[in-house]
Amino acid sequence: MIGIFLRAERLSFKFYAAGMILIILGIWCAYHQHNVRSLAEQRARLEQNDLLTRNHAVYRQHMDMGESNYKCCDYEMAASEYLAALVKAEKFSLTEKDLLQATHGLASAYASQGKFEEALPYYRRIALNREKFYGPGQPDTTYSLLNLAIAYDHCGETVLAESAFKRMLSIWEKADYSDNVEISLRNLATFYMLHGREKEARPLLIRLIASIDSKLYSDQVRLYFSLKDLINTYSSSDFKDTEPLILRTIAMLETQDFGADTQCTAMCDLSELYISNGEFQKAKPLVRRIADLFMRSSSDHPQPYLYAGDFEGIAKLSQKAGDTALSKKLNQLAVDMRKIWKSACDEIPAPTEADSNFQEAFYEQYCVDSPDGSRGKLQSIDFLYHR
């Protein structure tokens, strides 16, 4: 009996050992399979990351070329590079940021060429994406809304453009950010004025000026341009409304360093207002004051003959105001200046072909405001030979 029991015990032990070996083999196989699968997944991820890195490098190359061409004002070439970058970003499922950058670059390149119809769908796409990312009515969406509004305006979609400008204003009002509220007020007012809707622009500009005035340290430049725009919303017949605004502008310019030319422009506007309303007695001393300012400016200038066109304009204004003596004096001064002007031009040597090309390009960019263009031409020639 004892022998039978021992043999049975040895047999059960063998079965137990065999079972344990099978379990250990099963665990090892499962572990090995898991390692093989993990290695395969890791290899696939590495290959995918490598492919994504290569694709992003191609995308980045197109973006860099687009930015370089854009800076060189080659907008057509920039647009083709940005479009290629956008195609790559969509094809290879790059990040939302990459898509947004390529879309914005392409829209800007089209807009810079004046192709707002082609830029509009991309600006609309940017605005929708930013709204989706930040949420509707958030301040971060306003920049894309501004671009969209401008594109709508250029495409003749004035209703949609107005709606976008109003949405920007509403967003900044809710955010209670006074500086951006002022910018939005000015944008909407400018939009109305460009479309001949001065009456709708007027309350916005009045509100803008009140906001600037309410600050302890007001932005005088913004205040000047806002006052100037508000004046332009009135006609010459609105004498009672316009006169105090121009007088305020002149008083502000006298205390701030805006330059004599800006001050003279405001006084010329007031003189024209007085003349159109028959207030000649008020216009005469103002015109004399303008002439005196230009006299002093020209005497301090190294090339006083450049003021000939300005003196001719003041002479016409003084004639309208009934100051004939001053008009004759200024006209004679302008004639004498033009003689000096001609002799100064005759002394300049004839330019070579390369210089002519440079001068023409410079003139197109920096031509100043003389009615006949002569002042700008002379200044560009002076720059040409003293650069």
Higher pLDDT, 370 or 117: 117
Does residue 279 register a pLDDT over 80? yes
Contact 271, 286 (CB under 8 A): yes
Higher pLDDT, 49 or 212: 212
Amino acid occupying residue 337: M
Confidence class for position 197, pLDDT limits 50, 70, 90? very high
Higher pLDDT, 360 or 298: 298
Confidence class for position 58, pLDDT limits 50, 70, 90? confident
pLDDT, tens digit, 9 for 90 and up, residues 226-266: 999 999 999 878 889 999 999 999 888 888 877 778 888 88
Query: Looking at residue 25, what is its pLDDT?
Result: 65
Class of residue 102 by CB neighbours under 10 A (exposed 0-12, middle 13-18, buried 19+): buried
Helices 220-232 and 198-213 cross at an angle (nearest 10°) of 150
266-286: b or e for each residue (b if 16 or more CB lie within 10 Å)? bbbbbbbbbbebebeebbbeb
Amino acid occupying residue 152: Y
Query: Looking at residue 168, what is its pLDDT?
Result: 92
Does residue 183 register a pLDDT over 60? yes
Higher pLDDT, 261 or 199: 199
- Please list, in sequence order, all residues whose beta carbon lies within 8 angstroms of the beta carbon of residue 120, skipping any fewer than 6 positions away: 148, 151, 152, 155
pLDDT, tens digit, 9 for 90 and up, residues 82-108: 888 888 888 777 778 888 888 899 899
Confidence class for position 359, pLDDT limits 50, 70, 90? very low
